[in-house]
Structure 1
Amino acid sequence: MKRSHGQESAAAGDGANAADGVMPAVPGGLTYSAADAEKQRGVRRMKALATGLLLAVAAVYTLATWARTTGWGGGWAGFVAAAAEAGMVGALADWFAVTALFRRPMGLPIPHTAIIPTKKDQLGQNLGDFVGENFLSGVVVRQRLRSVGIGSRLGTWLSRPEHADRVTDELATALRGALTVLRDADVQAVVGEAITRRADAAEIAPGIGTMLERIVADGGHHKVVDLVCVRAHDWLVTHSDSVMAAVAGGAPGWTPRFVDRKVGERVYKELLRFVTEMRDMPDHPARGAVDRFLADFAHDLTSDDDTRARVERLKSEVLGRGEVQDIIASAWSSVRAMIVAAAEDERSELRTRTRASILSLGDRMTGDERLRRKVDGWLEDAAVYVVTTYRDEITALITDTVAGWDAEHTSRKIEAHIGRDLQFIRINGTVVGALAGLVIYTVSWLSGA
């Protein structure tokens, strides 16, 4: 029969794939590998052997029956004929049973035949239920993990420097990948909203007041006052003309100019003297006034409702400004760039500390029995939660996959894997049937004797 050009091309492609060791896919997602093809050839060889044995027994039966009928073989012909007859019966019965698993014998619509093609979905469901009940139960999973001793093995593995380096590299790669996938706009929006919401929800005045009280009590603000005095003195020295001009410019218009200059010079000198004394005298009265002001302000921040309300209003106004929101949002970009750079640099503090932590964890898990039990318990609890929560989804993978397979090709696939052993059943049936027939005939013959 001639094949179309498409069929010839498909056949050529199938041959090429088989030559490469990968057989083409079949309907339902099944594939046939070179190993499957070799198993199929093994099944055919065993079929030929079992069928040849059946034909041999049939030939022996024919010859033995002829010999017994003609009286040529004597008494032994009956024994041989009985054994051969029972062997044929056993061979045919086992042929029918094996064939009925995969197809209808001789194409006849006999009930309860072609079991695998017709019961494929039910077999898949039963297989899924079997796996769920016997492999995905919490007790089985927990016992299996406990017998493995993951904590001890993991600790030994992590305590080796080359493994710690590998884990560090993988973590760095995963971190870079995660930061690359995240969209800056989304993260910035989340960070900005989180910071703003947290700041709005928390009252900052009492905390600032408490901190200011401690600073004043410890004299921590003195350096700030010193710095302000030094800067103020230097500014006055540098901008003396501007200060005197400002004072003179604020004088009434009817005063003479030389009087305005004299007043400006006098004000400037007094101001410079005051700042200089405050800079050089730690016990200057003005410094004491600053101390008292800061102490009173700290007290008001913690106990005065009006002051606290003003601080909260100021906080809300500051957070609401666009410039502040831009600073909060842009913080993510800086943090991400810093983390990515640290993850890429093998000598960075991040990777160095990560590697040291992994080695330390491995050593602790190796020598600390209590820690190992904790790790084993965490892993067992996590695994039990997964298998008990998603058992139906896991078993559905089996049942749905089997349900999607093509019935005919599923039967061929299974036959390729177990058909050789099933052909041995035919051979054994022939031999056992012959022996049973011989025994029965012998017992009958003895009883008749």
Structure 2
Amino acid sequence: MRVVATGLLVAMAGLYLLARALIGAHPAWGFVRAFAEAAMVGGLADWFAVTALFRHPLGLPIPHTAIIPRNKDRIGDNLATFLRENFLTASIVARRMRRLDLATAAGRFLAQPPESQGRLREGASRLVANVLEALDQERLGGMVKGAIATRLRALDVSPMIGQALGAAMAEDRHVPLLDSVIVWVGRTLDANEGLVRAMVSKRAGAIMRWTGLDEKLANSIVDGLRRLVDEIVADPAHPLRAKAEEALARLADDLQHDPEMQAKVARLRDEILANPAITRWIDGLWESARAGLLRAARDPQATMAGKFGEALRQLGDTLQQDARLRHTINQFARRAMVGTVASYGDAIVRLVSDTIRGWDARTITGRLESAVGRDLQYIRINGTIVGGLVGLALHAIDLLL
């Protein structure tokens, strides 16, 4: 377009010279000369105006030229202020987000994915797979496993166990466990009856063994223990049950409030995590997770066709049908966006301002001229044509007067 505009100006100069040479041949050449002369003036004036925006015309330091390079910092600041006041304000973003139903759009996308999602999914899957395979697995695995171990060591499990035990006891959910322990004690006694009899016989004196009293004593002990276990099983209000529940309640309280008990649990936790078996379990956990991610990334169609894909489709249906869930998600998205703008809006506009400040004059001139240069050359063309028409009109008025 610059070539067209400049070529039109040159054409007007040639037409002017031709009309001036033939002006005596016919009066019409006077109109041609007036048109070409005024067109040159208009074209040159607009060329000067357009050029003065971006650089000094002909390299001459004429005042009020090269406007954009000289004022690029102020332009950047004004652009940043414009963005901040008209786009990145909490009220404007909230008003815009209020009209958007992101939850419904997400639900529709998940429930009935468009055709383009296949290509999008494959591209994203390839990217994820390439990233996972390109990363140093020893370093990445060490970071992940170290993070898991650190989080487990930082976990204060004692209060959680105490709260869980207290909640279970409040709802009598500990009773089946207590019954199971009692039944286990009874079975253990039956399985080790011979051991009990041998212990009684070993500790009995020679006279008791000679008279056979050790056998009667062992029978009495075994039968007494069996009756005790049967009574505890049959009687929910048995005193030993009450003692056991009292001990459990005290344990739940100590786990939550006793520093000494909490320290013991913490030491036990650290000993368990230091066990090589737990280390191997964490290693296997990471390897399984990485292998699963790679399988899903390499074959997204199979992943989406399985339970994971079905879960996503069900989520999409739920988002479209549950109005309260949609409202909650949209409200969360709106608040998150408004909060982001309120917290980082100044940083965003400062990034715009600092980026423009960091450009040199040639860079910003070239980018702006590339963006609007075509229309600016139309200004030159229009100036040439309009100038010529004005000159033609003035010549006609001069002849009439």
Shorter-chain TM-score: what band? 0.7 to 0.9
| Alpha carbons of structure 1 residues 354 and 334: separation in structure 2 relative to 1, 3 Å | farther
2: CA distance, partners of 1:286 / 1:127:
81
CA, structure 1 residues 287+261, in 2 after alignment: closer, same or farther (shift >3 Å)?
A: farther
- Contact kept, 8 Å, 2:196 with 2:218, in 1: the verdict is no
1:274 aligned partner? 221
Aligned to 1:232: 189
Maintained 8 Å contact 2:31/2:395: yes
2:369 equivalent in structure 1 = 415
Report the equivalent of 2:152: 191
Q: What CA distance in whole angstroms lies between the structure 2 residues aligned with 1:213 and 1:413?
A: 72
What is the aligned counterpart of 1:376 among 314, 319, 330? 330
- Secondary structure of residue in 2 paired with 1:388: helix
* Matching of residue 433 in structure 1 with residue 392 in structure 2: no
Calculate percent identity across the aligned residue pairs: 32
Give the deviation of 1:135 after TM superposition: 2.9
Instruction: Pick from 254, 259, 270 the counterpart of residue 325 of structure 1.
Output: 270
- Unmatched 5+ residue regions in structure 1? 1-45, 249-257
1:64-123 C-alpha deviation (Å, 9 max, x unpaired): 34545xxx2354343333222211110110111111122111111111111222222222
Which among 87, 101, 109 is matched to residue 53 of structure 2?
101
8 Å CA contact 2:41–2:387 kept in 1: the answer is: yes
Aligned positions of 1:115-130 closer than 5 A:
115-130=67-82
CA offset digits 1:213-235 (Å, max 9, x no partner): 9589x687455334323423432
Going from structure 1 to structure 2, the CA distance change for 1:156 and 1:283 (only over 3 Å counts) comes to closer
**What CA deviation, in whole Å up to 9, does each residue of 1:325-384 have, x standing for no partner?**
22257669747845863685589xxx9665444222200222334433333232222222
Alignment CA distance shift 1:317-1:244 (3 Å): farther
**Cα gap change, 1:125 to 1:219, in 2 (>3 Å):** closer
On the 8 A contact 1:128/1:398 being kept in 2, the answer is: yes
Distance change (3 Å), C-alpha of 1:326 and 1:269: same
**Alignment partners' CA distance in 2, 1:353 and 1:281:** 52
- Could you tell me how far apart the structure 2 residues matched to 1:286 and 1:63 are? 124
Give the structure 2 partner of residue 49 of structure 1. 4
1:292-339 CA distances to partner (integer Å, 9 max, x unpaired)? 133145357769xxx979x95873463254x44222576697478458
Equivalent residue, structure 1, for 2:300? none
Which secondary structure state, in structure 1, belongs to the residue aligned with residue 376 of structure 2?
A: helix
C-alpha distance after superposition, 1:24-67 (max 9, x if no partner): xxxxxxxxxxxxxxxxxxxxxx3333233223322333343454
CA distance in 2, matches of 1:85, 1:365: 71
Larger radius of gyration: 1
Partners of 1:432 and 1:212 in 2: CA distance:
93
Aligned to 2:210: 262
Any conservation in 2 of the 1:86–1:433 contact (CA below 8 Å)? yes
Cα distance, 1:284–1:51 mapped onto 2, change above 3 Å: closer
Instruction: State the partner residue of 2:169.
Output: 211
* Cα offsets for 1:265-308 (capped at 9, x unmatched): 523531233313543687669997993133145357769xxx97
Distance 1:388 1:214, change over 3 A: closer
Q: Which residue is 2:41 aligned to?
A: 89
CA contact 1:300–1:308 (8 Å) conserved in 2: no
Is the 2:156–2:266 Cα contact (8 Å) retained in structure 1?
A: no
> What's the Cα RMSD here?
4.6
C-alpha change, 1:230 and 1:424, in structure 2 (3 Å) is: closer
Over 3 Å counting, the alpha-carbon distance change for 1:241 and 1:47 in structure 2 is closer
Q: Which residue of 2 aligns with 1:137?
A: 89
The 1:62–1:127 alpha-carbon spacing in structure 2 relative to 1, beyond 3 Å, is same
Give 5+ residue unaligned stretches, structure 2.
297-304
Native 8 Å contact 1:212 1:298 kept in 2: no
Q: 1:315 aligns with which of 261, 265, 269?
A: 261
Deviation at 1:239, TM superposition (A): 6.3
Contact 1:192 1:329 in 2 (8 A): no
Number of equivalenced pairs: 375
TM-superposed CA distance for 1:182, in Å, is 4.4
Q: Does structure 2 retain, via aligned residues, the 8 Å contact 1:278–1:287? A: no
Q: Which amino acid in structure 2 is aligned with residue 434 of structure 1?
A: G
User: 2: distance between equivalents of 1:52 and 1:111?
Assistant: 28
CA distance in 2, matches of 1:328, 1:429: 82
Deviation of 1:192 (Å): 2.9
Give the whole-Å Cα distance in 2 for the aligned partners of 1:261 and 1:83: 143
Seen in structure 2, the aligned counterparts of structure 1 residues 272 and 312 have a Cα distance that, compared at 3 Å, is: farther
